[in-house]
Structure 1
Amino acid sequence: MSKDAPPHISGTPESSAKARARKLRMPPLRRRRLEFDDVNVVDKAMMKKAVGGTVVGNTMEWFDVGVYGYLAVTMGAVFLSDADKDAQLLFSLGVFAATFIARPLGGVVFGRLGDRIGRQKTLAITLIMMAASTFIIGLLPSYDTIGIWAPILLVLMKLLQGFSTGGEYAGATTFVSEYASDKRRGFLASILDLGSYMGFALGAAVVSVMQLLLSESDMVGWGWRIPFLIAGPLGAFAIYFRLKIEESPAFQATLDAQEASAKAGDETESLGTMGIFRAYWRPIVLAMVLVAAVNSVGYALTSYMPSYLTDSKGYDPVHGTLLTIPVLVVMALCIPLAGKLSDRIGRRPVLWIGAGSTIVLAVPAFMLIGQGPVATTLLGLLLLAVPVTFYVGNLAATLPSLFQTSSRYGAMGISYNVATAVFGGTAPLIMQGLIALTDNDMSPAYWLMFTSVAGAIAVIFMKESAQRPMPGSMPSVDTEAEAYELVAGQDENPNLDVDSLPFDTLGSQQGTQSDADPAPAGTADHR
């Protein structure tokens, strides 16, 4: 070897001795300690505004979705009036399912947008599109007026609805989860689903009032339009509140860090859609299976049951809708309790309760509904609402905790909407098709049991996220006293892994959460 070779390449005894000497002079590596300024203390005023603005918008979005479900029989008669009743119902449910075809595309587009320009702006866009498309449905001419163009226009508007909704739930859950403190994330995120099911209940109430006041011919002639037209003023009200909320601290910290890196000439390239899937394919698959289980039973109760009661059980449209309203209201009020329970005992145990109660209660629920009397039907619906409560009360906090902040909206958009499109939107069509195929009114119960077995298995592979920081974020607490307590007890806290916190990537940022750079493909942090 040349005598001019650099010392760090040379293998001579002299160079080795110098290396050992340098190593001895180096100070020992010190483990990074959590300090007070590393901890995000939640701004309570901003938190209330964020939750309120998101819930109002979410309620309005699901009012729009629910109205169509409760008018499924009427919509078939309006937009395919020359077909028999079975074909009309299948068409109407098929249009409802077609809405979900556009959801994965909306999830991808709005997910990428939300990770680039922010959650708040993207959520405002989705709400504007949803309100506009719903309002336009109320103005569409019927089949008797323009023939085949009527169902075509209906499908187009429902596809636009689905496209906008694809960015709504993923964005709303991401937004509130990033705002919430670690110990209250389950409770605060579950309030979103309280708004969702209250939106369904509000849609059912409006449709029921119309059905009580109007004859069936008037409903088919013009009454069906009113619930859709209400979306105009409701949408304006919800958009006003949503524009008042501010960006989440966790995402703002990510934007600040990316801006600082760009100024330093160390700009990182964000993950594209395929990059997100490669980096997070394991948690994405787990999320899809869980969402399939949750939405199968959830949409069975909200979107399918009114049609099931009317078409299979002989209830008139008014009672088929009215019977679901008290169940939805009671369930909506109980959802935050399930979210709060998950903050105490963990997400996984409560999700298992949801899966187990579906497996145990699905058959008794459908048996009671099939008895005929109103009392047993209500009891059957309440039994079906039990697993939905435990499932849904945890979903909004569980799913965002599977992904890093910098790619969370995009990953949520993919996982939630693909699963919802395949198993949620098609749930009414699948269950009605199973009844037609088997001539057995109990077949929907067996389908719900099957999907919940898959959901229970998925939970086994999920790591607990309750009372822990979001992946890639610093700890978040409600008060300064909690921040000091967290710092003082960091070595004994079983819910805090200091070594996994993103100190070196973003550094500490006073008063805000931080986020690590996206994990490279195949190395995502799945804790």
Structure 2
Amino acid sequence: MAKEARIRRPPRRRLHVDDVLVVKKSRLRTAITGTVVGNFMEWFDFGVYGYLAVTLTTVFTGDLPGGLGLLLTLLGFAVSFLVRPLGGFILGPLGDKIGRQRVLFFTMAMMAIATALIGVLPTSAQIGLWAIIPLYLLKMVQGFSTGGEYAGATTYVSEFSPDRSRGFWSSFLDVGSYVGFAAGASVVALTTLIVESNAGANGMVEFGWRIPFLVAIPLGIVAIWFRLKIPETPAFEAEQDAGLTVVEDNADPMARQGLIGIFRHHWRVVLIGIALVSATNTAGYALTSYMPTYLETEVGVSNLMAAVATVPVLILMSACLPFIGKLSDKIGRRPVYGIAVVSTLVLMIPAFTIMQIGEEWAVFIALAMVAIPVAFYVAISASALPALFPTASRFGAMAVAYNIAVSLFGGTTPLFSQALVELTGNTYMPAFYIMFFAALGGVALLTMKETAKRPLLGSFPTVETREEAVEIVEHQDDNPYIDTSTMPLNIIEPPAEPVGSPEPVGT
């Protein structure tokens, strides 16, 4: 009997120089700048709302008891996060389908308009407690837009950044975040100083609170203009050219997936992302959005004093982020996350203890201590988290993981922290809350894959010069950071050839 001919399968095509994505620094800077402005606007609103929380309690909740009114105001902050998953679930997969740049332009415009409209809302003095409803609605619009903003921005900067320096370049996204928050706090502090000097102590409640929100109009126009200028990412365009983002394939984890496919193929990595985002944002939102309220209500410092102490800390922390990002390019993302987790567990209780002293110097030192782990978390978020997911589904998967974590745990930090303080009378409850999620993040870190120095999953290598591209191609077989099996390299199928000659058939 004749033996069946064995068919030789052609090997996957090797990586060529023209496959490697070369991104010049000038184009990279344009892309990063256009992305950073969106995060600046998002966090500008957080800064304004956070530092006006006590004032807005009077403006929108009228004569309700202080504790209840403040919780309702903080609920306005939390409700924006509760709708973020909806925005992420819609805008994330849309960004994988039509492109990162288009969705980022849409989120920027929606966010700027909603922030500005808050500045013209009626107050409880005009329409009673109903005033809180349009505030909640606009915060929900903001939440929907930001559901696609950070996931899209991190996806965008990570795909534009060279593999060897992704931590450095991506860190500028969160520089924009915290500078934006500091700008919002500064505008509130300056407005308070000018208004109260000219209109008395009630000036901020009567009309001054509107000014910081209306400042979002010119800022929004500038940000939208920048967003119009940014190009599409090379990684997304390369996948479009390869035809991989055009057709969904439910069976292929590397192909573009809808929500069901994301959970089906990437649920383990989504859980890792949720844990790390929760650890990052409980500490981050405690430092920013909740700290003004905590300092005023629990420590007894003035709104102006809280801003004076917080703004320099945020500016100093922001200046450190690129250096931490560069450190992660050298030693890896996992070790930097480990530093963040350990420093959170070590520093939170001492920081809140020093904060209780209530003096300006003590508040400054305490906030600086809280900022240390936050800096190590956020400096690598934009480079580490998107790299966990393949290019074809990166925007959507990142939106799912990030927004679930932020909506349930991060953005609700002010509300839950204040509620725990009110319930227990223990002013250290925010510290325990932050430490709990840091511990969960540490557990997730044990199963996270290292992504530093490597091409993004599902993408070609990204470099700054053609010389680097040539070097990568020449050493692709012995480079431990190159895995061509995850890249969109088409297999060229020549006619199948039998191996050996079939034996003659005997009679």
Both structures adopt the same fold (TM-score exceeding 0.5) = yes
Query: 1:96 aligns to what SS in structure 2?
Result: helix
1:427 equivalent to 2:420? Answer: no
Point out the more displaced range, 349-358 or 104-113: 104-113
The 1:428/1:499 distance shift into structure 2, 3 A limit, reads same
CA distance in 2, matches of 1:412, 1:482: 29
Shift of 1:27: 6.3
- Confirm whether residue 476 of structure 1 aligns to residue 497 of structure 2: no
* Partner SS for 2:480: coil
Q: Secondary structure at the match of 1:286?
A: helix
Aligned mates of 1:282, 1:259 — CA distance in 2: 23
SS of 2:243's equivalent?
Answer: helix
Question: Counterpart of 2:47?
Answer: 66
Residue 226 of structure 2 aligns with an amino acid whose one-letter code is F
Residue among 377, 388, 396 paired with 2:363: 377
The residue that corresponds to 1:249 in the other structure is 234
Residue 265 of structure 1 corresponds to none
Q: What is the CA distance between 1:167 and its match in structure 2?
A: 0.6
Any idea what the Cα deviations from partners look like across 1:40-74, whole Å, max 9, x if unmatched? 11133321111011112221221122211111001
After superposition, the Cα gap between the structure-2 partners of 1:446 and 1:260, relative to the gap in structure 1 and judged at 3 Å, is closer
Could you tell me whether the CA contact under 8 Å between 1:36 and 1:487 is conserved in 2?
yes
Q: Is the 8 A contact 1:201 1:328 kept in 2?
A: yes
User: Which range moves more in the overlay, 427-436 or 414-423?
Assistant: 427-436
Matched with 1:226 is 211
Q: Could you say what secondary structure the match of 1:504 adopts?
A: coil
CA contact (8 A) 2:39 2:176 kept: yes
Q: Which moved more, 1:219-228 or 1:426-435?
A: 426-435
Q: After superposition, where does 1:452-467 map in structure 2 within 5 Å?
A: 452-467=438-453
Report the CA distance shift for 1:364/1:260 in structure 2 as closer, same or farther (over 3 A).
closer
Shift of 1:146: 1.1
Secondary structure at the aligned position of 1:474 is classed as coil
Cα 1:506/1:185, change in 2 over 3 Å:
farther
| 2:224 counterpart of 1:239 | yes
Q: Report what 1:212 is aligned to.
A: 193
1:127 is aligned to 108
Letter paired with 2:232: E
The two structures have a TM-score, normalised by structure 1, of: 0.89
Q: What one-letter code is carried by the residue in structure 1 that aligns with 2:21?
A: N
Partner of 1:275: 261
Distance in 2, Cα, partners of 1:131 & 1:378 = 31
Letter aligned with residue 357 of structure 1: S
Given that 1:288 and 1:415 are in contact with CA atoms closer than 8 Å, whether structure 2 keeps it comes out as yes
Distance 1:449 1:506 in 2: 53
CA contact (8 A) 2:239 2:245 kept: no
Secondary structure at the residue paired with 1:167? helix
The one-letter amino acid paired with 1:145 is Q
Deviations 1:145-169 (A, max 9, x none): 0113211111101111111111100
SS of equivalent residue, structure 1 residue 468:
coil
8 A Cα contact 1:276 1:407, kept in partner: yes
Separation in 2, partners of 1:381, 1:250? 39
The one of 320, 325, 329 aligned to 2:315: 329
Give the number of aligned pairs. Answer: 484
Structure 2 Cα separation of the partners of residues 492 and 233 of structure 1: 53
Distance (Å, rounded) in 1 between the aligned partners of 2:465 and 2:246:
30
Asked if residue 183 in structure 1 is aligned to residue 168 in structure 2, the reply is: no
What letter is aligned with 1:115?
Answer: D
Partner of 1:401: 387
Equivalent position of 2:146 in the other structure: 165
1:266-345 to 2 correspondence within 5 Å?
270-345=256-331
Alpha-carbon separation, structure 2, partners of 1:424 and 1:66:
15
Aligned amino acid, residue 66 of structure 2: K
Measure, in 2, the Cα distance between the counterparts of 1:117 and 1:500.
22
- Is residue 62 of structure 2 the alignment partner of residue 76 of structure 1? no
Contact 1:32 1:499 in 2 (8 A): no
Contact 1:257 1:506 (8 Å CA) reproduced = no
Aligned to 1:192: 173
Give the aligned partner of residue 387 of structure 1.
Answer: 373
* Cα deviation, residue 270, structure 1: 4.6
1:449 match: 435
Deviation at 1:206, TM superposition (A): 0.2
397 and 260 in structure 1: CA distance in 2 versus 1, 3 angstrom threshold: closer
Letter in 1 for 2:377: Y
Amino acid at match of 2:114: S
For residue 492 of structure 1, the aligned residue among 478, 492, 498 is: 478
Note the residue ranges of structure 2 that are not aligned, 5 or more in a row. Answer: 248-253, 494-507
Separation (CA, whole Å) in 2 of partners of 1:506 and 1:401: 28
TM-superposed deviation, 1:259 = 8.2
Higher relative contact order (CA 8 A, sep 6+): 2
Asked if residue 46 in structure 1 is aligned to residue 31 in structure 2, the reply is no
For 1:277, the aligned partner's letter is F
CA spacing shift, 1:327–1:31, aligned 2, 3 Å: same
Letter in 2 for 1:443: M
Identity of counterpart residues, as a percentage?
50
Cα distance change, pair 56–269 in 1 and its aligned pair in 2 (3 A): closer
3-state DSSP of counterpart to 1:214? helix
Q: 3-state SS of the aligned residue for 2:305? A: helix
